[in-house]
Amino acid sequence: MISLEGALARLLAAVPAPPALETVPLEAGAGRVLASPVRAPADVPAFADSAMDGYAVRSDEVVPGALLPVHQRIAAGTAPEPLQRGTAARIFTGAPLPEGADAVLMQEDCEAAGEAVRPGRTPAAGENIRPRGEDIAAGSELFAAGRRLRPQDIGLLASVGCGELVVYRPLTVAVLATGDELVPAGQAPLAPGQRYNSNGPMLAALLARLGFAVQPPVLVADCAEATRAALAEAAAGADLVLSTGGVSVGEEDHVRAQVSALGELDLWKVAVKPGKPFAFGRVGDTPFLGLPGNPTSVFVTFCLLARPFLLAAQGARVEPPVALWVRADFAVARPLSRADYRRVWLRSGNDGATRAELFPRQGSGVLSSVCAADALARVPAGQTLAAGDPVQVLLLDSLLG
C-alpha cells in the first residue's frame, strides 16, 4: 500500500496544464480561479475619512467645555471646504476629512449648542480617522494567480474598481457510478437487492461547490461492454472523468480493465481508512480518477485525494486542509496498518478544551457519519490512542469549499 501523502504527491505531479482563459464580469467571479495577479490601481480609502458620526476638529484647539462654532456640515459623498481656525465641522461616518482637521470627536463626547458644539474632552491627534490607503495601498498585489475567489474577495476587488477578471475556464467533469444494484433517487419501489445511487448526486454536488461544470451523473451496468462505452463517451465530452466503484479486484469490477484498455491505469491501494482502493490514470488523453464504491469511502477519498488534484488541474493553488489539534474523547487500542480518518463531532468541555467525540457508527457505508460530523480525526497508521490524547482533526468545511 502507498501512503496518502505518497499518493497525493504522485497525483499532483501528474496534473495537466490548466484550461484556457476567459474574461468574466466581477459579479460572475465567485468560485472562479484567477489566471493572473490582480493589483490595486488606487488607495482604499482614496481619502482620509471619518470613522464616526461627530465633529472634525484641530485637536490642539479643543478645550473641554469651550464652545467651537460649527461652520460646515460634511456628509459622505460630499467635498468639504478646509477647516477654518477655531471651528469644528459636523461630519458623518465615511465622509472625507476636511483639510486642517486631525481628529474626529464622537457626537457622544460633545453637546450641540445651536450653531456651535461644546466638546466634553480633548481628542488625540488621529482619533476616529481612517487614513488614506489604510486598507489597501495603490500598486499592492491583492490576489495572486491561482486564487479561488470567495465572496469577500469579490467585495475587495469591487472596492478598488475592478470590473472584470481573467480566470480559467471551468473544467467539465463526467461522473460515473458503477453497479447493477444502483437506481436513480426518486425511483420507487426498490426491487430486492437494489439501492439508490447516492454517490453520483453527492459527487456532482461536491464538484459544483468547487466551481466545476458537472455533467449529469451516469449509472453504468456491471459489464465490460457497458463500462467501456460509458468511459469512452465520458472522456470524449469532459476534461476529467470521475467514477465510483469497479476499481477493486472482484469479478464484477470492470472499470480497472476497461480504463487500461482505453488508456492507462495506475491502481493504488492507498493506506487510508475508509477508502483503500483508489485509481488514477487516463482514458485516451483524459485524466481519470476512480474512487471506491462505499459512500463514506467516496466522500473521504474525494476530499483527501480527488479534490486537491481537481483544483490543481483547474489552475488553483492547493493549500493543505485546516488541521487542528484537540483532545480525543475516544480510544484506539489496536494500531491499524492504514491511517484512519474517523468522523467526529467537536465539543467544548467545561475546562474550555475542545474534544473530538466519535460518531457511533464508523462503517464505510454509513453516509450519515459525514453528514453529522464536524471533522475527520486522523489516527496515523501504527499508532494507538488513549482518551484525552491529542489528535489531529481536519475540519470538514475546509475540505468542501
What SS3 class is residue 267?
strand
For range 381-385, the mean pLDDT: 94
Give yes or no for a cis peptide into 69 (omega within 30° of 0): no
d(CA 345, CA 356): 6
d(CA 193, CA 200): 19
> Furthest-apart CA pair in the chain: how many Å?
93
Please report the DSSP string for 335-381 in residue order: --SSEEEEEEEEEE-TTS-EEEEEPS---TT-THHHHH-SEEEEE-T
Reference 218, options 239, 208, 204; nearest CA is 204
- Mean pLDDT rounded to a whole number for the chain: 94
Residue whose C-alpha cell reads 480633548 in the numeric block: 122
Please list, in sequence order, all residues whose beta carbon lies within 8 angstroms of the beta carbon of residue 160, skipping any fewer than 6 positions away. 40, 41, 42, 44, 136, 142
d(CA 142, CA 140): 6
d(CA 100, CA 394): 53
Task: Look at the pTM and tell me if it is higher than 0.85.
Answer: yes
Q: Would you say 163 and 177 are in contact if contact means Cβ atoms under 8 Å apart? A: no
Give the model confidence (pLDDT) of 67-125 as tens digits: 999 999 999 999 999 999 999 999 999 999 999 999 999 999 999 999 999 999 999 99
For range 186-191, the mean pLDDT: 86
Let me know how long the chain is.
401
Q: Cell numbers for 139, please give them.
A: 500598486
For range 317-335, the mean pLDDT: 94
d(CA 281, CA 260): 8
Give the model confidence (pLDDT) of 192-226 as tens digits: 999 999 999 999 999 999 999 999 999 999 999 99
